[in-house]
Structure 1
């Protein structure tokens, strides 16, 4: 398993284990969209780049996207409430090989064309980590 996938799995476990976390936690957007339950928080990947090359090691930066899918009369407000709880947990995450995590911003809410009560709000995080230059794992 790659380090970026390990980070995602551990972040999912961290949120799911938080007492009274206000959303279900998923890895797949398609699973979240097919559910009737609301809200659902999905952790998925964005882009990745190589920031530096240090002989046998590289520093990688991977975008981790956290999308909250809600269905309500004020879905963007409900998504914001979920992120209010999730954000400090995500920012406090620590792992071997992880050099840092920071927030890059939040995209504008996307509302479903057929159902104005469905919304997706995505916050972008960037993780920086170190690997062997020939490997994506620890």
Structure 2
């Protein structure tokens, strides 16, 4: 049976990298949830793989760019504001992710792309603070489970 793709191994490594700092802040960690994160699960950090593009082909090697979105979720809980809580969570995740620019030796590099703010005044103020990162890696053209 073939091993996991380098992409999947990178996603698992991202989860493992951010988990200690997320949990140290009392937050939960989720990957690509199919249902909304509940109030009880907040604060939370959610990891979403968004896109992957092939940027270069050289002989039997393919360079790929995987875009991963980290979303810090927080609700209005005293004594901090949800914006402050979400920022603290995303700051910790950013530090954890970028402390090893090779994602455990699987990637050529990690680059921060953008950040945006979403505030919702539903039954209580909720903040979603998404940040995108581009992870560049290389595989063989005919086997995405082998580094190139």
Name which of 125, 131, 135 aligns with 1:117: 125
Residue 7 and residue 35 in structure 1: after superposition, are their counterparts in 2 closer, same or farther (change >3 A)? farther
Flag the structure with larger Rg.
Answer: 2
Which blocks of at least 5 consecutive residues in structure 1 are unaligned? Answer: none
Which blocks of at least 5 consecutive residues in structure 2 are unaligned? Answer: none
What TM-score results when the alignment is normalised by the length of structure 1? Answer: 0.86
Residue 117 and residue 19 in structure 1: after superposition, are their counterparts in 2 closer, same or farther (change >3 A)? closer
Partner of 1:131: 139
* Aligned residue pairs, count: 137
Name which of 13, 16, 23 aligns with 1:13: 16
Residue 19 and residue 64 in structure 1: after superposition, are their counterparts in 2 closer, same or farther (change >3 A)? closer
Residue 37 and residue 20 in structure 1: after superposition, are their counterparts in 2 closer, same or farther (change >3 A)? closer
**Runs of 4+, deviation exceeding 3 Å:** 29-32
Give per-residue Cα distances to partners, 1:9-44, cap 9 Å, x unaligned: 112122223486212111133456135232100111
CA distance in 2, matches of 1:136, 1:40: 31
Residue 120 and residue 30 in structure 1: after superposition, are their counterparts in 2 closer, same or farther (change >3 A)? farther
C-alpha contact (below 8 Å) 2:39/2:75 kept by paired residues: no
What TM-score results when the alignment is normalised by the length of structure 2? Answer: 0.81
Residue 19 and residue 97 in structure 1: after superposition, are their counterparts in 2 closer, same or farther (change >3 A)? closer
- Tell me the CA shift for residue 96 of structure 1: 3.1
